[in-house]
């Protein structure tokens, strides 16, 4: 049925595209625009592999219509290394060093939820980390190393280094 012309800012790049009413944000990002960091996992809003930041909030991009997001700012895990000048972002480096991934499919979503957590709570307890990552499912690690990775990331991420994603809550 009806097509819609929309604009998105994805990882600081202005994008214009035409989507169907039923196109989901994750498919617009991956299939139409080539931003393949968010993965499609469960397709039912449970696993969190498709997590991106939408206007500053971590959301599941498989549960949002692309047309709903018209005019919004999207940030994917692909932005992290770009911002760190091609090096791994401190959150990514912590996941690497702590073996916070095996197959890696869930990792882009884990990274984006972790970034939101650390924005609001720079020194989270292990319990707070587990609570924050409730919506991100990992079938490999058993989560222990992921919690270690977030703790390590928290020690390294300096609030002043982060983009001003705290402005997205209004």
Residue 86, token pair as written in the block? 């091609």
The DSSP code sequence of 111-147 is HHHHHHHHHH-SS--HHHHHHHGGG---SSS-SHHHH
When the beta carbons of 5 and 87 are compared against another protein, the nearer one is 5
Minimum distance from CB of 141 to another protein (Å)?
18
When the beta carbons of 11 and 116 are compared against another protein, the nearer one is 116
Phi, psi of 84 (to 5 degrees): -85, 15
Q: Is beta strand 73-75 parallel, antiparallel or unpaired with respect to 3-10?
A: parallel
Name which position in 15, 135, 143, 162 contacts another protein (CB under 8 A): 135
Name which position in 17, 65, 88, 140 contacts another protein (CB under 8 A): 65
For the chain, state the CA radius of gyration.
16
Please report, as residue ranges, which positions from 37 to 56 form the binding site for another protein (by CB under 8 A): 43-45, 48, 51
59 binds another protein (CB under 8 A): yes
When the beta carbons of 22 and 139 are compared against another protein, the nearer one is 22
């Amino acid at each position: 049925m009806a097509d819609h012309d929309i604009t998105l800012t994805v990882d600081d790049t202005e994008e214009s595209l035409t989507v169907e009413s039923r196109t989901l944000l994750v498919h617009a990002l991956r299939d139409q625009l080539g931003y393949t960091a968010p993965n499609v996992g469960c397709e039912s809003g449970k696993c969190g592999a498709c997590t991106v930041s939408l206007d500053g909030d971590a959301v599941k991009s498989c549960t949002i219509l692309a047309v709903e997001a018209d005019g919004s700012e999207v940030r994917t895990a692909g932005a992290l290394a770009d911002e760190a000048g091609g090096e791994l972002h401190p959150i990514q480096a912590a996941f690497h060093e702590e073996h916070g991934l095996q197959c890696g499919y869930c990792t882009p979503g884990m990274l984006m939820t972790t970034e939101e957590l650390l924005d609001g709570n720079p020194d989270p307890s292990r319990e707070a980390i587990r609570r924050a990552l409730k919506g991100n499912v990992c079938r490999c690690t058993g989560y222990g190393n992921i919690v270690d990775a977030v703790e390590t990331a928290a020690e390294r991420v300096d609030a002043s280094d982060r983009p001003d994603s705290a402005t997205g809550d209004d």
